[in-house]
Structure 1
Amino acid sequence: MASLHSATRPVSDKLLDASGISVDRIPMLHVAFDRLATHCADSLRQMSASPAYFSLSNVAPARIDDVLDEYEANAIAGVFHVPAWDSRILVGFDRDFVFSMVEVLFGADGSEPPIDVERPFSNIEINIAQAIFERMAKVLPLAFGAPHDTAFKFERIETRMDFAIIGRRNNQALVARFLLQALNRGGEMFVILPQSALNPVRETLANTMAGEAAPRDPRWARQIQSEVQRTEMRIDAILEERLIDLLDVTNFEVGQVIELQATPRSRVKLTCRGEPLFWCQLGQSNGLYTIKIDEHVDADQEFLNDILSR
């Protein structure tokens, strides 16, 4: 049944999935992050007399390596495993966040000037960050409890972003940034959710709460549909794909002929931005190559074939 569903999936949905993550298509994610800000403030209130306030700054898509490079040598990161999502997420505190929390937890009154020194984090600062991460492991399920009941297991702490690995660094992710206010100080917390982590719950997060859906404007919907359908997209026709050892690639020479197993009768795979769409037949017309669309690509079957061929 799953194979039939994926095979008959609208091409428009495949194109939208291939383009990456759209925050507007998962509105419940903002609700979860707002809950996270509230629960973080409540949790830290139990550790200190001075209140700490969290507010969601923004949520935006980004590549994981771009975010980690931004915070290199200026943040402490905690890696969390989410078994229900079969993925890992990352929570980070920037330098100002850590310094502010040290003062809050040790009873400072804010009369001293804030620390403005770029140096390695001390053992005390790392231990405090770890204590907060351990509390985050209890707070995160509360934030995501309504959209999806799951658990977050704190695995380790990293002070170098090179080692804060939660997947391929060039993968797409959603990054939520939170502002901390305490003792007239500031700081930033960030949460990185890889796209692979969101895929299992994307449909659930896309459903708004009852009573929150705005009435649909038919004219605006038609205009949006018209503009989207006029968008230019590049398509690729792939005659053959082959795995080649890196050693063979380094030995390639100009003029070398690489034989293909494909023939004029081989089926051609039509793709758009890496997303397989159709199987096609190769042909010719007026001296040009043509392709005739034959059938939808069965994504599940392609996945099984890829596994079996390894």
Structure 2
Amino acid sequence: MGGPLDDQDDDLLAAEWAALAEGDAGGGDDDFASAGGGGETGGAPARVLNQDEIDSLLGFDDGSAGASDGSGIAAIVNSALVSYERLPMLEVVFDRLVRMMSTSLRNFTSDNVEVSLDNITSIRFGDYLNSIPLPAMLSVFKAEEWDNFGLLTIDSALIYSIVDVLLGGRRGTAAMRIEGRPYTTIERTLVERMVHVVLGDLSAAFDPLSPVTFRFDRLETNPRFAAIARPANAAVLARLRIDMDDRGGRLELLLPYATLEPVREILLQMFMGEKFGRDSIWENHLAGELWYTDVSIEATLEETPSYLREVLAWEPGNQVIFNCTPESPVMLRSGGVTMFKGKVGQRNNHIAVKIESRTQKD
């Protein structure tokens, strides 16, 4: 029979089970803290990263979709690009381009034009397309001898400045910009003429290094239509600044490394001034010292072929007969190369050879 005493026993048993459960949970936490929280002070709980911090560490930031990977592990992976500094001759080419463009654009615009090189960097082609400020004009050109393409980007400020200068805009007034509309035929034609001037200077800048012709291919306003390489491919980007008094803008020249591959060995050379790797002092020194080089000369009167088994069977007293006479020509050789023919004789009690002809090279 159950009574009040049985109810009290049940309550006491339930209380004991609850106490045991709480003790087990507390002991588990203590064990976890003692095992993994050796660096904690004052018994503070272990620091656990939340999901936002994990995404930031890995470079997965949902709030900046479409932006370039510039943080976390993604930044470390994407930083594995070839540096243009491994191509020292390329900087000399761009310096020549800047000087030549300053003169060519002055003649083209009949205005005071200053061209400066801001920087030269390496970038992935896909990242560059995403970073182009629109509106802009993108000129695709082809390197004929290298059988590949490059990209020339003219920003909006430079487009309106060129149009304003070529159509007689007054100085001291900023070029009028009408955003949100497509470029007109006149604007595209004038910019295309300027692109031809720049490509001509670029060809001349590469000419001492490797003759190449940069041919204008097409003019685009949508970066997606100017895709000349895969998004992950590396490229060299040169940013130029063009100033015309109080007007001007930026011009960006992008050359994929695949385009520069045919002349990569030349671009790796060191240089003196603008001689592109040639050192005239060393050349003259080498040419002068070659005249004092010791060269061994062998005089061969006759040769006869023989089998190895016959040579190994030779003994003292054997004779080797040559089909030659005192009038037979003597061959003068150096390093196994026959150079002269002559007659054998005697001079001052020494055997001598009188050179009669030079051997023709094959």
- Per the normalisation by structure 1, the TM-score is 0.59
In structure 1, the partner of 2:242 is 180
In structure 2, the partner of 1:8 is none
In structure 1, the partner of 2:294 is none
In structure 2, the partner of 1:29 is 90
Contact 2:160 2:177 in 1 (8 A): no
Alignment of 1:235-274 (within 5 A): none
In structure 1, the partner of 2:140 is 79
Question: CA offsets, 1:44-88, max 9 Å, x none?
Answer: 222222121111110000011211222253210111111222210
In structure 2, the partner of 1:218 is none
SS at 1:85's partner residue? coil
**Superposed displacement of residue 152, structure 1:** 0.8
**Superposed displacement of residue 118, structure 1:** 2.2
**Residue from 216, 233, 237 that aligns with 1:171:** 233
Residues 39-48 or 26-35, more deviating = 39-48
Distance in 2 between residues matched to 1:41 and 1:101, nearest whole Å:
14
Question: CA offsets, 1:26-60, max 9 Å, x none?
Answer: 11111111111222222222222212111111000
- Taking only aligned residues, the RMSD between alpha carbons, in angstroms, comes to 2.1
Aligned: 1:112 with 2:173? yes
The one-letter code sitting in structure 2 at the alignment partner of 1:87 is N
Contact 1:93 1:190 in 2 (8 A): yes
Distance in 2 between residues matched to 1:148 and 1:90, nearest whole Å:
19
Distance in 2 between residues matched to 1:182 and 1:57, nearest whole Å:
16
Over 3 Å counting, the alpha-carbon distance change for 1:196 and 1:41 in structure 2 is: same
Aligned: 1:193 with 2:250? no
Alignment of 1:1-310 (within 5 A): 19-71=80-132, 73-119=134-180, 120-210=182-272
Contact 2:141 2:215 in 1 (8 A): yes
**Superposed displacement of residue 211, structure 1:** 6.1
Over 3 Å counting, the alpha-carbon distance change for 1:69 and 1:208 in structure 2 is: same
SS at 2:150's partner residue? strand
Over 3 Å counting, the alpha-carbon distance change for 1:183 and 1:106 in structure 2 is: farther
Residues 22-31 or 89-98, more deviating = 22-31
Question: CA offsets, 1:71-118, max 9 Å, x none?
Answer: 253210111111222210011100011111112212323222333442
Contact 2:81 2:123 in 1 (8 A): no
Larger radius of gyration: 2
Residues 173-182 or 139-148, more deviating = 139-148
Identical-pair percentage: 33
Contact 2:133 2:155 in 1 (8 A): no
The one-letter code sitting in structure 2 at the alignment partner of 1:174 is V
Question: CA offsets, 1:185-234, max 9 Å, x none?
Answer: 23000011101012221221121222699xxxxxxxxxxxxxxxxxxxxx
Over 3 Å counting, the alpha-carbon distance change for 1:159 and 1:211 in structure 2 is: closer
SS at 1:84's partner residue? coil
In structure 2, the partner of 1:223 is none
Contact 2:174 2:246 in 1 (8 A): no
Distance in 1 between residues matched to 2:81 and 2:146, nearest whole Å:
18
Distance in 2 between residues matched to 1:50 and 1:112, nearest whole Å:
15
The one-letter code sitting in structure 1 at the alignment partner of 2:219 is I
**Superposed displacement of residue 122, structure 1:** 2.2
Distance in 2 between residues matched to 1:25 and 1:49, nearest whole Å:
38
Distance in 1 between residues matched to 2:231 and 2:171, nearest whole Å:
38
In structure 2, the partner of 1:233 is none
In structure 2, the partner of 1:229 is none
The one-letter code sitting in structure 2 at the alignment partner of 1:23 is Y
**Superposed displacement of residue 177, structure 1:** 0.3
> Greater relative contact order (Cα 8 A, min sep 6): structure 1 or 2?
1
Over 3 Å counting, the alpha-carbon distance change for 1:108 and 1:163 in structure 2 is: same
